[in-house]
Amino acid sequence: VPRSVDVADLVERAQAGQPRAVARLISLVEDASPQLRKVAEALAPHTGRAQVVGLTGPPGVGKSTSTSALVSAYRRQGKRVGVLAVDPSSPFSGGALLGDRVRMQEHATDDQVFIRSMATRGHLGGLAWATPQALRVLDAAGCDVVLIETVGVGQSEIEVVSLADTTIVLLAPGMGDGIQAAKAGILEVADVFVVNKADRDGADATERDLKYMISLGRRERTDVLWRPPIVKTVASKGQGLDEVVEAAESHRSWMVDHGELERRRQRRAEAEIEAISVERLRTQLGDVRGGEALDRLAKRVVAGQLDPYTAADELIEDLHAGA
């Protein structure tokens, strides 16, 4: 039996920046604990202040190294920083993953830095589910910036984009797949491009390719006023990260000036409400007549006695009838 939690007290201590309270709250939302609603309610008035910066890109491009170096850059400005490392393939969560723990070592004793790994495998809806809540915890904990790192594989980068105010897409020279990723739609989601591993051959060529592709993309989208800048970095040596922070800051100012920040946050909230509603409806539909309704309707569909549309009508009618 999970011991009961004083949510209000936890939130108060998280606001004061106590790492253990922050960690506990994230665990509560991640485990979909029965306290989740109370937590969400208690957090709501303390959110909306943090700047949410997403980092995505192909495997091995240097996301974790860059995230750590970015934390340092923000810390030089005296900012409180949260990090959510989202690993869509990992069943482990809680502490940082081993490799990331090594990379984040320099921040381990900094009480102005909160780092958390989130596993999304096995969670229905993956990122969409627990990460926004974890984000709220870090926001309420007074983080000026929250960095969300996720490996750019398919759905996850789309999801990280829906969470972030500013999305940074990392590429590296000599990564053909990086450019492939760019072609596969990563161009549209990037607010800032980073060509990391600029100490390697081919960084200039990668930058040139990117510029060319951006110019192609812009021809079709004359409404888009923001031109994503390209910043070259050597994350492993901490080079270029101040420029990345600058680029993210300019993007934020641009969004504020053009009402885009409000629009993005509105869309984000809509998507979140929708996801929660859909999830709740799914549960309710499965529960109609103790789960028997769906079962019996499916049997009739299989037997050819009923078409699935009529079956859906019946299921929804039953739900509304409170059967």
Ligand X SMILES: Nc1nc2c(ncn2[C@@H]2O[C@H](COP(=O)(O)OP(=O)(O)OP(=O)(O)O)[C@@H](O)[C@H]2O)c(=O)[nH]1
Determine the residue type at 167: T
In contact, 191 and 250? CB cutoff 8 Å: no
Rule CB under 6 A: say whether 196 interacts with ligand X. yes
Rule CB under 6 A: say whether 154 interacts with ligand X. no
| Residue selected from 15, 18, 47, 236 as contacting ligand X according to rule CB under 6 A | 236
The nearer residue to ligand X, 139 or 159, going by C-beta atoms, is: 159
Take residue 8 and report the two structure tokens written for it.
């209000």
Rule CB under 6 A: say whether 107 interacts with ligand X. no
Rule CB under 6 A: say whether 65 interacts with ligand X. yes
| Residue selected from 83, 210, 235, 293 as contacting ligand X according to rule CB under 6 A | 235
In contact, 203 and 231? CB cutoff 8 Å: no
CA–CA separation, 212 vs 99, rounded Å?
35
CA–CA separation, 141 vs 259, rounded Å?
26
- In the complex, the smallest distance separating the C-beta of residue 146 from Mg ion, rounded to whole angstroms, is 17
| Residue selected from 7, 42, 61, 248 as contacting ligand X according to rule CB under 6 A | 61
- In the complex, the smallest distance separating the C-beta of residue 57 from ligand X, rounded to whole angstroms, is 6
Task: Supply angle C-alpha 283, 284, 289, rounded to 5.
Answer: 120
Rule CB under 6 A: say whether 120 interacts with ligand X. no
Residue 236 binding: pick among ligand X, Mg ion, none (C-beta 5-8 Å cut-off by kind): ligand X
Residue 80 binding: pick among ligand X, Mg ion, none (C-beta 5-8 Å cut-off by kind): none
CA–CA separation, 219 vs 282, rounded Å?
42
Provide the strand spans (E) within 172-247.
192-195, 230-232
Residues that bind ligand X (CB under 6 A): 59-65, 151, 196-197, 199-200, 234-236
